[in-house]
Amino acid sequence: NAGVTQTPKFRILKIGQSMTLQCTQDMNHNYMYWYRQDPGMGLKLIYYSVGAGITDKGEVPNGYNVSRSTTEDFPLRLELAAPSQTSVYFCASSKQQGAGGELFFGEGSRLTVL
């Protein structure tokens, strides 16, 4: 079982560059989430999606964009990378609405912006 797969695992960007973090899940979950994790700060929700074609902002959406064209995929786009976006990014999925269901996490993507 693959579960939630994120690519790349590591990436270094220069300020102003753009990139897309890929996330795919094979569990047919409707709900998908992007979090960022900063040292000592826990996880902050960036964007989430309740199904294909539907996305919404979380707590810290500035500087990011998402799309959800299929149930399986939920890519996170960084436009004009800034040092403040240096973080570890986690994609997660859930069968049920967030609080009612277990979140399944990918292994994370560590991004450094220099």
Partner 1 sequence: AQSVTQPDIHITVSEGASLELRCNYSYGATPYLFWYVQSPGQGLQLLLKYFSGDTLVQGIKGFEAEFKRSQSSFNLRKPSVHWSDAAEYFCAVGLPMYSGGGADGLTFGKGTHLIIQP
Per CB under 8 A, residues contacting partner 1 are: 4, 31, 33, 35, 40-43, 45, 48, 50, 56, 58, 90, 92, 94, 97-100, 102-103, 105-108
For partner 1, the closer of residues 14 and 41 by Cβ is 41
80: left (phi over 0), alpha (psi -120 to 50) or beta: left
Min dist. Cβ of residue 99 to partner 1 (A):
3
For partner 1, the closer of residues 35 and 64 by Cβ is 35
Nearest-angstrom CA–CA distance, 8 and 83: 18
For partner 1, the closer of residues 14 and 100 by Cβ is 100
Min dist. Cβ of residue 4 to partner 1 (A):
7
What the block records as the tokens of 91 is: 């994609």
For partner 1, the closer of residues 81 and 108 by Cβ is 108
Beta strand residue intervals within the chain, DSSP E: 4-7, 10-13, 19-25, 31-37, 43-51, 54-57, 64-66, 76-78, 87-94, 104-105, 109-113
